[in-house]
């Protein structure tokens, strides 16, 4: 049997694998792979924890946002109600104020009317008294008396016209 290159390759192959087994290379490679698997698993677990924490934070933030929306809507509704109430109150106050001013104006007009009537009566009485005095002082004949009466009547009408104007 001749020793050829194939034999030496087979022998070196066996020596190589024997050296690997002697130096415990497969165990070390296995340990390294187990360590890498363990590290990757730890990273996956940590990333899963971070994902859960992020989801929890997102849920909490969403709840806070929903609460803020509901509070803002409630504030807006209250503001609308307050604005409507204030508008109604201001409208009522305006109408009450205008009614009071109207009543004051009516009472002033009433007082002015009463004053004017009193002045007319006073002027009429004065003219009548003056007429009577003139009649008594000039009691002469009937034609003069009628002329004086007509004159006093015209004066009374003029005074009343001036007062009414």
* Each residue's pLDDT tens digit, 1-52: 567 888 888 889 999 888 878 888 888 888 899 999 999 999 999 999 999 9
Look-up: residue for tokens 């020793």?
Answer: 3
3-class DSSP state of 139: coil
| The pLDDT of residue 125 | 83
Nearest to 158 by CA among 113, 120, 114: 120
Greater confidence (109 vs 128) lies with 109
On whether the pTM is more than 0.75, the answer is no
Q: What is the pLDDT of residue 53?
A: 95
Provide the greatest CA pair distance for the chain.
197
Q: Tell me the average pLDDT of the chain.
A: 86
- What does the pLDDT average to over 57-70? 93
Per-residue confidence (pLDDT) for residue 141, from 0 to 100:
63
C-alpha to C-alpha distance for 53 and 47, rounded to whole angstroms: 10
């Amino acid at each position: 049997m001749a020793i050829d290159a194939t034999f030496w390759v087979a022998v070196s192959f066996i020596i190589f694998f024997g050296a690997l087994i002697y130096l415990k290379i497969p165990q070390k490679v296995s340990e390294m792979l187990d360590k890498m698997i363990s590290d990757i698993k730890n990273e996956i677990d940590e990333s899963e924890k971070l994902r859960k924490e992020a989801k929890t934070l997102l849920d909490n933030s969403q709840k806070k946002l929903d609460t803020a929306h509901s509070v803002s809507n409630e504030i807006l509704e209250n503001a609308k109600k307050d604005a409507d109430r204030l508008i109604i109150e201001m409208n009522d106050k305006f109408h009450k104020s205008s009614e009071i001013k109207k009543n004051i104006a009516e009472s002033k007009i009433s007082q002015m009317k009463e004053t004017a009537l009193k002045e007319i009566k006073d002027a009429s009485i004065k003219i009548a008294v003056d007429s009577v005095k003139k009649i008594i002082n000039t009691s002469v004949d009937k034609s003069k008396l009628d002329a004086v009466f007509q004159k006093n009547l015209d004066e009374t009408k003029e005074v009343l016209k001036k007062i009414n104007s």
